[in-house]
Structure 1
Amino acid sequence: MAAEIGVMTYTVLDRARADLEGTLARLAGLGYLGVETYGLVEYFGPRRVRAAIASAGLTLISAHTPFPAGPDAEELLDTNEELGAEVLVWSMEREEFDSPEAIRRGVERINEGAERAAARGMRIAYHNHFAEFSQEFGGRRAYDLLLELLDDRVLVELDAYWAVMGGADPAAVLAGLGERARFVHVKDGPAVSYEEDVMVPIGEGGIDWTRTLGRPSGLRWHIVELERLHIETFEALRRSYDHLVGRGLSRGGSVPATKEKRV
């Protein structure tokens, strides 16, 4: 069965901060089934965000939030426990892939987070950017070293677009990850510049999503994230939904995006 389709709330962050409940309801009206939160809990607090997600009939897929390690760990866990998050997703910094030693030091932080999260019944997932794939040491990609060092309890959220930017084939990466990859960030565009790329609706850029997502995998969620756009955000989300669900790559709600409910 196809993975369910959701949205990373960075895509609608300004709109959600202006109208949280209305924005989430509109995502549900397009047929999206869940959200990965970013930048909302800090603005509204976990209780209101949790209530708004439930009111819209959406699933909280995961929370994009720093790894719960170091002095702020318990506070982060308290907040996400109140939010109702079962999976916490974050990344290492680009410079942490400058050497194998830097990778090992960064992984210590993630593994500490995995241990602390497990004590609360939560899990950690790792989200990549491009340095994980562009950096190599002794013929091995930094990403492969990262995966080898990570605690087995750490899940993977593959950002397919940034994998392409790092020179990787996301379809091959997903095939190698198997059940460990539970989530994939789906974004499309020219795949030229990490800082400057303008995204386009899914299916209108350079990535072959049928090849990338059409194979059996451990993925549970396809999470659409459109970071910078030159067209209206909800129009881009509608067209993205139509591409992914219309081709049977993702599973959406009962309301087709072309018949968006009024909210």
Structure 2
Amino acid sequence: MTPPPPPVAAQLWSLHEEASRDLLGVLEKVAALGYPAVETISLYGHRPAAVRHKLTELGLVLCSAHAPFPAGEEAAAILDTYQEAGTDTLVWSLEPEEFDSPGAIARGAARINEAAANAAERGMRIAYHNHFAEFRNVFDGRTAYEVLLEALDPAVLLELDTYWAHTGGADPAAVAASLGPRLESVHLKDGPARGMDDHMVPFGEGVMDVEAAARANPAVRWHIVEMDRSHHDMYELLGRCYDHLVGHGLSRGER
């Protein structure tokens, strides 16, 4: 029997400007599109308990939250916030300059590993989200991403941004397939794949093979739609992406 596809979630960076003014209203609109889950980028000053209450009211799951790695002095406060908000998975990235050398990568990995150890004490998890420097930068024939993965504690999960992997010169489906059960979620988007100022387009109108990326690894638990910026109305775009994924049997949703 073929297992059902992963559920689809919306990354709220797609609606960052509106969410900064009215996060709870944005959650209502995303739920109305049929998304069963969201991944936050910020709580925009709301109390974590209030966000959790709104999510529960709407039947939404907080699949994960983008939040700084809980390492150093701020670790406890970060973990407190998102534990109260109702997620057990925090996701973040290293900065592009942290991929300039193997030494810089090692220092970044140490911070991530510290964060994972802190999170584990709360029964929480850390995942790493890539951009494109991880794939563009190569050291002795190995991508910076490969160097990073070797340095990370195996407990650190992965969230593969398929679009930025492609922008960095990698084959997103091949990367996803290579990551095995460590790959918790994938970010799906489409566009020209040129750089960080790209404007995203509906699935099938850019250079991405979204279907291949979505199907590449059966261990993936979440398909997360993120549109960093677009000339399209963002709710219309998120709705079209939802329809594409659910309509093609790649993901499952609520309508």
Aligned counterparts of 2:171 and 2:67: Cα–Cα separation in 1: 27
Identical counterparts, % of pairs: 54
1:89 equivalent among 88, 91, 116: 91
Match of 1:104 in 2: 106
Q: 2:252 and 2:226 mapped to 1: Cα distance?
A: 16
Give 2:31's aligned residue.
28
Q: Note the C-alpha offset of 1:125.
A: 0.2
Residues 196-230 of structure 1 show CA distances to partners (whole Å, capped at 9, x for unaligned) of 21111223211111222123421110111111111
Q: Please state how far the C-alpha of 1:3 moved relative to its aligned partner.
A: 1.0
Give 1:192's aligned residue: 194
Distance apart, 1:78 and its partner CA: 1.2
Residue 27 of structure 1 aligns with an amino acid whose one-letter code is V
Q: Tell me the secondary structure at the aligned position of residue 3 of structure 1.
A: coil
Verify the 8 A CA contact 2:201 2:237 in the aligned structure 1.
yes
User: Residue in 2 aligned with 1:236?
Assistant: 237
Q: Tell me how far apart the structure 1 counterparts of residues 183 and 143 of structure 2 sit (CA, whole Å).
A: 18
Separation (CA, whole Å) in 1 of partners of 2:6 and 2:189: 16
Structure-to-structure mapping, 1:143-182, within 5 angstroms: 143-182=145-184
Structure 1: tracts of 5 or more residues without a match: 256-263
1:14 Cα deviation from its structure 2 partner: 2.4
Equivalent position of 1:14 in the other structure: 17
The 2-side partners of 1:13 and 1:47 are apart by 20
Q: Within 5 Å, which residues of 2 pair with 1:54-69?
A: 54-69=56-71
Structure 2: how far apart are the matches of 1:13 and 1:139?
38
Offset of 1:51 from its aligned partner?
Answer: 1.3
TM-score normalised over the length of structure 1: 0.93
Give the drift of 1:12.
Answer: 1.4
1:102 offset after TM fit, Å? 0.6
Retained in 2: the 8 A contact 1:16–1:23? Answer: yes
- Which region of structure 1 is more displaced relative to structure 2, 141-150 or 16-25? 16-25
Residue 202 of structure 2 corresponds to: 201
Is the Cα contact below 8 Å between 2:186 and 2:214 reproduced in 1? no
Aligned residues: 252
Structure 1 vs Structure 2 CA RMSD: 1.2
Cα separation, 1, equivalents of 2:70 and 2:89: 11
